[in-house]
Amino acid sequence: MTICEPYELRIHLRVDRSITSRVVLADLKDETESVWRPYGVRIEWTDVRADETATQGLSLEAIVEPRFAGEPSEPMWTPVLGRAFVNLDAPDRRPIRVSFEATETVLGLRTTSRASIARIVHPRVLARALGRVLAHEIGHVLLGAPNHDEAGLMRVGFRPDELAAPDRAPFRLTCIGVGRLRTRIRMLTGIEQEPTDQETCLPGRAVR
């Protein structure tokens, strides 16, 4: 049972040629889908640009690039993993951007892997992390939320070990986030959603 009514989200994903051989794209997409699936958000990947797509849901552009334009080549103390533009009245059509190098840098700081000693990041682990960063940035656009939650998917930053681990529990929406998603989908579709009693939550707690 999903927490919200099904909602279709189409994403035109572009990955810079310089990094396509270093990322398992199927895993990146699967992770992004898996984060949002429990909330009724169905992601369809398309080769058609968002401005050319006719859909009843939402179409977005997403770009995975080596680094953001204008940023120094040397890693910053607190790397920015992704960027999205938020419009409170309607989803912003400007592309979501995810930084490959910043994500790789953060993964190199994890402490639970022997590979971290040599800062080696397995392609599938990197793909999982990129998928979670993309899911977070999608959240900003889909929820119309410029700010961050205290926990869960929409918190301000991710710990390296959590970003790499298979467990998705740290990447759930909080109950506040779920409520915001219901309201946002109602606004986007014009369809009233019936409240559910699937789980009682406290503000800031992540929904299972």
Cα 18 from Cα 12, distance rounded (Å): 18
Q: Which pLDDT does position 39 carry in this prediction?
A: 95
Higher local confidence (pLDDT), 163 or 202: 163
43 with 32: CB under 8 angstroms?
yes
Distances (CA, A) of 173 to 14, 54, 178: 26, 28, 6
100 vs 16: CA distance, rounded Å: 9
Q: For residue 118, what pLDDT band results from cuts at 50, 70 and 90?
A: very low
Domain boundaries, the chain: 7-189
pLDDT at 198: 47
Mean pLDDT to the nearest integer, 31-43: 96
Average pLDDT, integer, range 9-17 = 95
For domain 7-189, give the CATH superfamily. Collagenase (Catalytic Domain) (3.40.390.10)
Band of the pLDDT at 197, cuts 50, 70, 90? very low
Sign, CA torsion 20/42/134/161: negative
* pLDDT averaged over every residue in the chain: 83
Per-residue pLDDT tens digits for 156-191: 999 999 999 999 999 999 999 999 999 988 888 876
Sign of the dihedral through C-alpha 146, 48, 81, 9: positive
The whole-angstrom separation of Cα 8 and Cα 58 is 7
- What percent of the chain is modeled with pLDDT above 70? 78
DSSP-derived secondary structure for 47-66: SS-GGG---SSEEEEEEEES
The DSSP annotation for 158-200 comes to: --HHHHHSS--GGGSPBHHHHHHHHHHHHHHH--------S--
pTM of structure: 0.85
Mean pLDDT of 105-128: 78
Q: How far apart are CA 140 and CA 91, in angstroms?
A: 9
Name every residue whose Cβ is closer than 8 Å to that of residue 186 and which is 6 or more positions away in sequence: 192, 193
**pLDDT in the model for residue 55:** 54
